[in-house]
Amino acid sequence: MRFALFSALILSGASLVWSQEQIPLGSSKMPETYTPQTNEEPTLADLLTIEASASIFYTYAREVELSQSFADQAARLTLLVPTNKAVMALARKPHQGAAPPVDTGVVITEEELDARSRENVVRWVSAHIIPAHPLALSSGSHPTLLHGKNVTFKAPAGQPEQPEWAHVIVDDGAHIVAARQAVNGVVYMIDDTVKLD
Ligand SMILES: *[C@@H]1O[C@H](CO)[C@@H](O)[C@H](O)[C@H]1NC(C)=O
C-alpha cells in the first residue's frame, strides 16, 4: 500500500506531496520552517528541504532512501533535480517505469506491485545523481548511480553570458534553470527529466 498511496499523492498534485507526513507546527522537520542547525554551508539535503519546486524529486529520493548521502558532508554529488512541473508533465510517472508491463495474464500481488514501483523509483532517482563534483559543464559524459546510464552535458560555444550553467543542455534535452551550491555538491534544477531506456 505504501507506494500506491504515495503514487496517488504524486498524481493528485505537488501541493499534496507533503500531506503524507504532516508534522506538528513548530517542529524543526517542517519544510517551511526548516533551518540548518549550524552556520556552516548548507548540505544538499538542506538545499532540497527548502527548495519548494524540488519537493517531488526529494520525496521520491527519501522514499527509497537514496537521499541519505545528501546530508553526508563528505559526499561529492552533482544532483540533476527535475522541477515539480517537469515531473508532473511526464506521461508515465517515475514509479510506473519507462514502459507499460507486458500483460502475461499472471495476477500480480500487491507486494509485487509495490516492489516493482520501488525498483522503478530507485532507477529513476539514481539516473539523476552523478557521484562526482565539481564537473566541467561545457561537455562530457558522466556515469550516474544507475548502472550503465550516462548523462551528457553540452554547451554551445561562444556564449559569453554568465552564469556558466545557463546554456547547458543536459541529457540531450533538459535545460538547467537554477543552480545551488552546497558544501557536499551542487543541485542543478532542470526543466525536464533524465530519460531511461
Ligand atoms: C560513461 O562515461 C564514462 C566517463 O566519461 C565513459 O568512460 C563511459 O564509456 C561512458 N559510458 C557510456 C555507456 O557512454
> What CATH number corresponds to the domain at position 163?
2.30.180.10
Which three cell numbers, joined as nine digits, stand for 82?
A: 527535475
Residues paired with 71 in a beta bridge: none
Q: Is residue 68 part of a domain?
A: yes
Query: For residue 7, how far is its CA from the centre of ligand 1 (angstroms)?
Result: 33
- Give tens-digit pLDDT for 46-92: 999 999 999 999 999 999 999 999 999 999 999 999 999 999 999 99
Let me know if residue 31 belongs to a domain: no
Q: Could you tell me which of 51, 193, 191, 189 has the C-alpha nearest to residue 124?
A: 193
Distance 102 CA to ligand 1 centre (A): 31
155 inside domain: yes
Handedness of CA 169, 170, 174, 179 (dihedral sign): negative
Comparing C-alpha atoms, which of 95, 38, 46, 98 is closest to residue 67?
Answer: 46
Give residue-wise pLDDT tens across range 164-181. 898 899 999 999 999 999
Reported as a pLDDT band with limits 50, 70 and 90, residue 21 is: very low
Q: How far apart are CA 113 and CA 117, in angstroms?
A: 6
Whether the full predicted model's pTM is greater than 0.75, yes or no, is yes
Grid coordinates belonging to 103: 500483460
Ligand 1 atom having least distance to the Cα of 150? 1
Overall domain count for the chain: 1
Does residue 78 lie within any of the structural domains? yes
For residue 13, pLDDT over 60 is answered with no
Residue 81 lies in a domain: yes
For ligand 1, whether the C-beta of 141 sits within 6 Å is: yes
The region of weakest confidence among 20-34, 49-63, 156-170 is: 20-34
State the Cα–Cα distance between residues 145 and 126, nearest whole angstrom. Answer: 5
Residue where the block lists cell 516493482: 116
Assess if residue 135 is contained within a domain: yes
- Do 154 and 136 meet the contact criterion of CB atoms below 8 Å apart? no
- The reply to whether 8 falls in a domain is no
Given this model, what pLDDT does residue 139 score? 86
Write the residue with the smallest CA distance to atom 13 of ligand 1.
Answer: 148
In this predicted model, what pLDDT tens digit does every residue of 93-122 receive, in sequence order?
999 987 777 778 888 899 999 999 999 999
Name the residue range of residue 62's domain: 40-97+107-190
Q: Is residue 18 part of a domain?
A: no
CA 6 to chain centre: 16
- How many residues comprise the chain? 197
Cβ of 132 less than 6 Å from ligand 1:
no
Ligand 1 center–CA 195 separation, angstroms: 16
